[in-house]
Amino acid sequence: MNAALKSPQLDSTLDADKLAQLARLTSGLSPADLYWIAAYSAALAARLPAYAGLAVVGEPSAVPAGQAGERLSIVYGSQTGNSRRVAEQLAGNAEAAGLLVRLLRAGAYPLRELAQEHHLVVVISSQGDGDPPDDAIGFIEFISGKRAPRLPQLKFAVLGLGDSSYPKFCAVSRELDARLIELGASRFSTLGEADVDFDSTAAEWSAGVLETAREVLSVPAASARHASPLHAVSAPPQHSRDNPFPAAVLENQRIVSRNSDRDVRHIELSLEGSGLRYEPGDAVGVWPQNPPALVEQWLSTLKLDGANEVEHDGRRLPLARWLSHERELTRLTRSLVVAQATATGHGDLQRVLEPGQQAAFARLLESHQPIDLLREFPTSWDAAQLIAALRPLTPRLYSIASSARVVGHDEVHLTVGVVEYAAHGSVHYGAASAFLAATGDDTRVPVFVEKNERFRLPADSSRDVIMIGPGTGIAPFRAFVQERQATATSGRNWLFFGNRHFAQDFLYQVEWQEALRSGALHRLDLAFSRDSAQKIYVQQRIREHGRELYAWLREGAHLYVCGDSAHMAKDVHEALLEIITVHGRQSAADAKAWLAELLQQGRYARDVY
């Protein structure tokens, strides 16, 4: 159905000109947009009111009671885009099978409709210590809270995405599944749980859900829509996660001082000919290659020959190629720890996997890379067994640091903190950051654009914007300020930035000073933690200026936070609760509720990692 994705040919009364026009209109649209158009067109053909409920962004319109019982609602909560991709694939297959489908991100789901919902699928990830994605917090809190309605009419299915290396693997999906049962709903498919390498598990679960949904909704196989061969309609190539664009490197510039103990790069990539489009708030996905030095460390430690070919999952590649391009070498996982503990029989390694040792296991994950485990607990590895035990290499997401209105649609900028440090007697690397730092004029970087609908500038350009982005978390706010200046918005822009040293780590210092002079930036507050005896962080600056920040929020400002999720984002959240309590004269419970409401409204958005 999507001329923008392939070149479909449909038996139709449309002539070649109309087919070409349709291809132009759908070019560049997301799968969710296309599902909406398909439902809208079907509604027109059936002389029904146009059903706007399929829109992913925004609040759906009311649906006739009969139609509500016949549709399948698919809701996703996604932090990095994985749950969204699974949900979009399921929605596409369900729509092709003849089901009436609406696809919604959790933050756009109209909670008042839950009591009338009949068939619901939720695909949701768990973050960090069992937390829901930011965009799903309101959805989860409503269903978990006292205001949730009884749901005896609801049949549902839940798929959780998570990382089994963490103790609260798929905690959000497990709790949601149990809560829906508690509210009187019934499962039409068992709870699914997918680990980091989720593709095959998610596909198998989705196929089962679709088969059962067709039975539950009484949709016969004959109603499925079949595409017939038609005349070709040319369409631009579509690049995505599974078909990345080989972007040329236009610039790779270090943007910290020579004597800084950190390396941060400003990377500019060419998107010319890709057809990729982005907005401020989106991310670029980079398919990395593991550093050659790290690959050599593995081969040397395990005494394996990188030239030997290894067959796995129907593919045959040299071992060095598996390690450099296909397998995760920098992220320690539970599966690898289990395999190493089994192979070595080492008591210390086995104990950390025992029940009740979650804290010790978390410390191991934080302090060790896989190479450290191989050296500390040595054992012989067969090359084929090693490749089977390692997870596939996954793309890394980088917040976009440019506005296409300023730099052009054929160019995109990134701010990359290079991970390279000494530990356990050797140099350690980050896969993607080391890969990007080493790029030059002859390098092609496989990239795609990851949309981030929950991290958008306000549609009302008169709204004020508060941006909190220490370190490389500054990246999206460079794009925000560029965009706001290019579109001549009337709203004010306030930036909080922090790093270690003013003289060494003030990222984009000249640009921010010029933005202040030109009026593109109205206020800049800085926190450099190592320039004084007492460490100062952005959360201290937030508290110092709490009265004004709270006043901005009360007047309708949008608040954005980008950066480290483990520490900074939590500390900033606590500081925000404190200023709301103090300057808003609210109880702790009311402050929490008000901040949650801002999150639900999209006026408090976080891009954390």
The total of other beta-carbon atoms located within 10 Å of residue 92's CB is 20
Residue 26 is predicted with a pLDDT of 57
Distance in angstroms (rounded) separating the CA atoms of residues 432 and 398 = 10
Q: How many Å is the maximal CA-CA distance in the chain? A: 76
Q: CATH for 16-223, among 3.30.9.100, 3.10.20.740, 3.40.50.360, 3.40.50.300? A: 3.40.50.360
Q: Which helix (H) or strand (E) holds 480?
A: helix 475-486
Residue 505 is predicted with a pLDDT of 95
Strand 444-450 versus strand 283-286 pairing type: antiparallel
End-to-end CA distance of the chain: 35
Paired tokens of 327: 């397998």
Contacts of 104 (CB under 8 A, 6+ apart): 53, 55, 56, 60, 73, 74, 75, 76
**What does DSSP assign to residue 191?**
P
Distance in angstroms (rounded) separating the CA atoms of residues 436 and 419 = 11
Contacts of 78 (CB under 8 A, 6+ apart): 84, 87, 105, 123, 124, 125, 133, 135
| Domain assignments of the chain as residue spans, ordered by start | 16-223, 245-288+395-450, 292-389, 465-608
544, 583 Cβ separation under 8 angstroms: no
Query: Low-confidence residues of the chain, pLDDT below 50?
Result: 1-13, 17, 36, 40, 42-66, 226-236
Q: Which amino acid is at 307?
A: A
Q: CATH for 465-608, among 3.40.50.300, 3.20.20.450, 3.40.50.80, 3.40.50.1220? A: 3.40.50.80
- Superfamily of domain 245-288+395-450, CATH level 4: Translation factors (2.40.30.10)
Residue 217 is predicted with a pLDDT of 87
In the sheet with 523-528, reading across from the earlier edge strand, the strands are: 523-528, 493-499, 465-468, 558-563, 604-608
Paired tokens of 176: 């949601």
Residue 374 is predicted with a pLDDT of 95
Domains 245-288+395-450 and 465-608 share a fold: no
Paired tokens of 393: 């290499």
> Which of 398, 394, 395, 407 shows the shortest CA–CA distance to 271?
407
324: exposed, middle or buried (Cβ count in 10 Å: 0-12, 13-18, 19+): buried
Is the CATH number 3.40.50.1980 carried by domain 292-389?
no
- Reported as a single tens digit per residue, the pLDDT across 467-511 is 999 999 999 999 999 999 999 999 999 999 999 999 999 999 999
